[in-house]
Amino acid sequence: MKKSMMMLLFTALLFFLIPMHTQAAAKQTKIFLDGQELVLPHSVEVVNIRNNIMIPIRVVAENLKFNVNWDKKTQNVHIQQGSKAISLTVGKNEALVENDTVTLNVAPQMIKNTVVVPMRFVSEEMGLSVGWNNKDKLVTLSSNTSLPSEPSNESGIEATTNQIHEINYASNQLVVSLDQEITPVITTLQNPERIVVDFPSTNLGDMGQALSGGAMGRLDTSESPNIADIRYSLFKNDPAQVRIVIELNNVRSVNYEQQTIAGKFILDLSMVNEPVPVTPVSSGKKIVVIDPGHGGSDPGTTSFSKKPEKIFALALGLKVQALLQQESGIEVIMTRETDIYPTRSERVKLANDLKADVFVSIHGNSVKAAPQVSGTETYYYQRESSKELANLIHHNLIKALGFKDRGVRNGNYQVIRETTMSAVLLEVGFLSNKSEEEAMMSETNQNKAAQAIVDGIKEYLTL
Amino acid sequence: MKKGIYLAIAICAISILAVGCGSKPTSSGPVQGSDPASTSPETTANQNEEGEQSQDIQVFYADDQLLQLEQSTKNITFEDDSDKYSKTFAALKSNDQTELISLWNGIDLLSSTFNQGKLTLDVHIPDEARLGAGGELLAIDALKETFFQFEEISSIELLVDGDATESLMGHVEIEHPLTRE
């Protein structure tokens, strides 16, 4: 229960912000675009991976204002700006730039439910030049021409700063009360569908007092089912710029009209609703989710010959995948196909969202303090269907590998508890046991184990 | 009912300590009434000349096949409360019994602090000390069983390298803090 709440919270953090005061942390990476500091949303972290600055795709979309499309299923990030387009994939070192393949220093990664991409690569491909001041952790970006609508002070007169006094939303109308008429810059973004309204040279008046730095306020939109969220913030400091983001909910398309009446800016929205979301089930095939344990930042245990468990789990998982792909009645989905770390909640969510029929998590066991301990054990959690699946796979594994039979056991593990289908966790053998590790690392035995797992799954699905 | 027995044992323990004090009037030890050992039901604390105390405690390990928890009586010697908890952890990680497996072997205790019923243990887990799914569950149970024998501990905040991580070894979620169930 608590965990599912955590999961919800994480998902929410992807798109929303918790209003909070920003801290002037000395080591925090700051990004300047054309001399102006980007006020990054509070929840957003810029990470440094082997000296590559990685930024969440949300920053690419909201701060750099490129069009970003995220396809969760293929783990693909598509970034577009005018005629320039690049395509990156989580965990892959290769990216596509207008159909040419280029190699990245660091592959995009999924960190805490957020996809991060290499900043220099994305910026430069999009026509920005990038500078890095390591001492002060400053990134400077400068655009030549192509960036949309940066507020400028070119008039030569120090623009007097406008004030916003009130923001309201009702009956598909956003009403912003200003002390001077001003035409905001409006952009639409996808995934999720958003309308971004930027007011240049504008500050939050009375209503801004409770907010500081990158903090954010939000409107009550509980009576507007088409609106997921409306948030506003002082987006830039010098000169001031206020940003209002309207995030839409289940909307297929949106049109808007803007007008200014008596000092009030009014944005009228007309939305076409999305039909009820379709379930991803296809073609009557059984969906099997294979989950190679650990990965990325979580190496799992270390084997007798000092190899990380995640390597074994992935190697075996990919062999199971290859065999299942030959089955016409089965569609196989992997929680990971590379050395990345999806959280356990993400693995569970993937299987549940797909309405999978079978979930198999693959692990290698270990107890370094007792290297003589060996054998195969298989876990299920309470459900009879999971127990049946566990028995079938376990039986096949024991037959195929000939390891000691440690039994089929009930175990309270998140990935088999929170998944809603038949789910098992395999501890194929002990990586801390010298001879078992040797066997588990051999191609022959991995192929045998993969076949045993597939046989168990097929028996369970009566295919 | 059980409470009554505990109380009786506690009173016995206190009176034994009181007698101890009486027979050694020159000892200027700490105030015995606040000694947590005196509230511990199964055990009796003894104090030697250096102000060190020794106590028999129950420590939980896995059986030699890593299938279930087994308890074993260990004697620990410590100077004060904080030392008691680090010595208990040291007992938990010691792997000197052939028929039992230490589930915390190889895991380092970085710090332990006790404040108002909450024991905070900060540990470092080298990759090779990580257990499989079964071992990880047993390890958490062993820690809880072992530390919750001290009545003054009502919860344990278990940190890995200073962080309240979602899991110790990647299979089991851990509550922050761990509580008596």
Does residue B181 surpass a pLDDT of 70? yes
CA distance, residue B96 to nearest chain A CA (Å):
10
Does residue B34 surpass a pLDDT of 70? no
Q: Which residue of A has its CA nearest to B100?
A: A370
Is residue A43 classed exposed, middle or buried when 0-12, 13-18 and 19+ CB atoms within 10 A define those classes? buried
Measured in degrees and rounded to the nearest 5, phi and psi for residue B31 equal -60, 120
The pLDDT assigned to A157 comes to: 42
Contacts of B132 in chain A (CB under 8 A): 301, 363-367, 427, 430
Chain-centre distance of CA A224, in angstroms? 27
Each residue of A148-171: pLDDT tens digit? 444 444 443 445 678 888 888 888
Percentage above 70 pLDDT, chain A: 84
Please give the single-letter amino acid code of residue A368: K
CB contact under 8 A, B132 and A411: no
Q: Are strands A358-365 and A286-292 parallel, antiparallel or unpaired?
A: parallel
Does residue A27 surpass a pLDDT of 70? no
Is residue B70 classed exposed, middle or buried when 0-12, 13-18 and 19+ CB atoms within 10 A define those classes? middle
Q: What is the mean pLDDT of the segment spanning A100-107?
A: 83
Q: What is the mean pLDDT of the segment spanning A352-365?
A: 96
Q: How confident is the model at residue A273 (pLDDT cuts 50, 70, 90)?
A: low
Q: What is the mean pLDDT of the segment spanning A253-274?
A: 80
Q: What is the DSSP string of B63-126?
A: ETTSSSEEEEEEEEEESSHHHHHHHHHHHHH----TTEE-SSTTPEEEEEEEETTEEEEEEE--
By the CB < 8 Å criterion, does A419 face chain B?
A: no
CB contact under 8 A, A365 and B134: yes
A72-77 contacts at long range (C-beta below 8 A, 24 or more positions apart): A75/A110, A77/A108, A77/A115, A77/A117
Higher pLDDT, A327 or A221: A327
Tokens read off for B76: 């620990």
By the CB < 8 Å criterion, does B166 face chain A?
A: yes
Q: Which residue of A has its CA nearest to B95?
A: A369
Please give the single-letter amino acid code of residue A289: V
- Nearest beta carbon to residue B133 from set A308, A373, A427: A427
Please give the single-letter amino acid code of residue A132: W
Q: Which of A216-225, A284-293, B62-71, B93-102 has the lowest mean pLDDT?
A: A216-225
Please give the single-letter amino acid code of residue B141: D
The pLDDT assigned to B150 comes to: 96
Does residue B97 surpass a pLDDT of 80? yes
The pLDDT assigned to A283 comes to: 62
Average model confidence (pLDDT) for chain A?
Answer: 83
By the CB < 8 Å criterion, does A427 face chain B?
A: yes
Contacts of A364 in chain B (CB under 8 A): 132
According to DSSP, the residues that pair with B160 across neighbouring strands are: B123, B163
ipTM greater than cut 0.90: no
Percentage above 90 pLDDT, chain A: 38
CB contact under 8 A, B133 and A363: yes
Higher pLDDT, A432 or B81: A432
How many CB pairs lie under 8 A apart between chains A and B? 92
CA distance, residue B132 to nearest chain A CA (Å):
4
The CA distance from A61 to A46, in Å, is 14
By the CB < 8 Å criterion, does B94 face chain A?
A: no
CB contact under 8 A, A411 and B134: yes
Q: Which residue of B has its CA nearest to A425?
A: B133
Average model confidence (pLDDT) for chain B?
Answer: 82
Please give the single-letter amino acid code of residue A151: P
Does residue A317 surpass a pLDDT of 80? yes
**CA end-to-end span of chain A, whole Å?**
35
Cβ atoms of B115 and B47 within 8 Å: the answer is: no
Contacts of A373 in chain B (CB under 8 A): 64-66, 101
Each residue of B111-120: pLDDT tens digit? 999 999 999 9
Three-class SS state of A207? helix
The CA distance from B105 to B90, in Å, is 9
Q: What is the DSSP string of A140-162?
A: EEEESS-S------TTSS-PPPE
Does residue A41 surpass a pLDDT of 80? no
CB contact under 8 A, B166 and A343: yes
By the CB < 8 Å criterion, does B133 face chain A?
A: yes
Each residue of A63-94: pLDDT tens digit? 777 888 888 888 888 888 877 888 898 888 88
Contacts of A363 in chain B (CB under 8 A): 132-133, 171
Does residue B17 surpass a pLDDT of 60? no
- Nearest beta carbon to residue B170 from set A294, A377, A430: A294
By the CB < 8 Å criterion, does A339 face chain B?
A: no
Higher pLDDT, A273 or A181: A181
Cβ atoms of A229 and A16 within 8 Å: the answer is: yes
Token pair 């196909």: residue: A337
Cβ atoms of B164 and B130 within 8 Å: the answer is: no
Q: Which of B66, B104, B172 to mutate to test the interface with A (most CBs of A within 10 A)?
A: B66
- Nearest beta carbon to residue B130 from set A300, A406, A411: A300
The pLDDT assigned to B117 comes to: 94
Three-class SS state of A129? strand
The CA distance from B85 to B109, in Å, is 10
By the CB < 8 Å criterion, does A430 face chain B?
A: yes
Residues 95-114 of B with CB under 8 A from A: 95, 101-103, 105-106
Contacts of B169 in chain A (CB under 8 A): 300-301
